[in-house]
Amino acid sequence: GQQLNQSPQSMFIQEGEDVSMNCTSSSIFNTWLWYKQDPGEGPVLLIALYKAGELTSNGRLTAQFGITRKDSFLNISASIPSDVGIYFCAGPLNTGKLIFGQGTTLQVKP
Amino acid sequence: DVKVTQSSRYLVKRTGEKVFLECVQDMDHENMFWYRQDPGLGLRLIYFSYDVKMKEKGDIPEGYSVSREKKERFSLILESASTNQTSMYLCAGAPGLGTYEQYFGPGTRLTVT
C-alpha cells in the first residue's frame, strides 16, 4: 500500500538553529499537509499545500510542495523551545481519507 | 477557529466494560474520523463518516463501532474493552467537499486495566 516516509525520524538541535525535514512517497499527491503534535495533545494543522512547486510560509515555518508531487519539505527557522513536538506530513488517498507519515520528533535544547 | 472537542482527556476503564468516546465539532463539517495513536505505529484510522448515519470502516475497525446521529457528533464505542485497546484516541473533523484538511481534537488517553 501507499506509504509516506518522513526523514529524519528524530532531531535534537540547539535553540536558534534552523531545521529541515522531508516527506516522500512512491505515489503522486495533489495536496500535502503538515501537522505538529505537542506532547499529550492532538495534531494541529500548520500548513496546507495544493500545487506542485508551491512554497508557503506560516511564521517561521516554510513548506514546499515538491515539483515531482511525490515529496514535500518543511523548514523551521531560528528554532525555539516551543517548537518541540512531532511533525507529521499527510496526503489524501481518496474519498477524504488521509495517509500520515510516521512523524519527525524534534527536540530543542535551550 | 475550528473547534473539535472530545469528552474526556483521560479515561481508565476495566476489561470488558463498554466505553463511549464522544467527539463534537462546531464547524458544520461533513466528515468526521476516529484514529488511534500508538508509539511506533503512527496514526491509524478506525472509522470515518461522511454524513449523518453513515459510517465506513477504516484500517483497524475490529473491536470498535461508531455512531453519528447528528452532524456535529461522532461517537466511538468499545463494546467490550480489552487491554490492547489502551491507546490515545483522536477525533478529527473535515469540511469535505473536495478539501482534505482534517482538524483534530485534543485526544483521549484511554487506559484499560
Q: Which of B91, B100, B108, B110 to mutate to test the interface with A (most CBs of A within 10 A)?
A: B100
Longest dimension (CA), chain A: 43
pLDDT at B30: 87
What rounded mean pLDDT belongs to chain B?
Answer: 94
Rounded CA-CA distance B86/B105 in Å is 18
Place of cell 477504516: B58
pLDDT in tens, A72-82: 999 999 999 99
Q: Does the pLDDT value for residue B20 go beyond 90?
A: yes
Residue B39 cell numbers, joined: 508509539
Cβ of B42 and A103 within 8 Å? yes
CA distance to B32, B46, B76, B82, B90, per residue, from B18 (Å) = 22, 17, 11, 10, 18
HSE-up of residue A64 (Cα within 13 Å, Cβ side): 11
pLDDT in tens, B72-88: 999 999 999 999 999 99
Q: Please answer whether residues A52 and A72 qualify as being in contact, where contact means their C-beta atoms are separated by less than 8 angstroms.
A: no
CB contacts < 8 Å between A and B, how many? 47
Q: Identify residue A76 by its one-letter amino acid code.
A: I
Rounded CA-CA distance A76/A57 in Å is 10
Q: Does the pLDDT value for residue B96 go beyond 80?
A: no
pLDDT at B9: 95
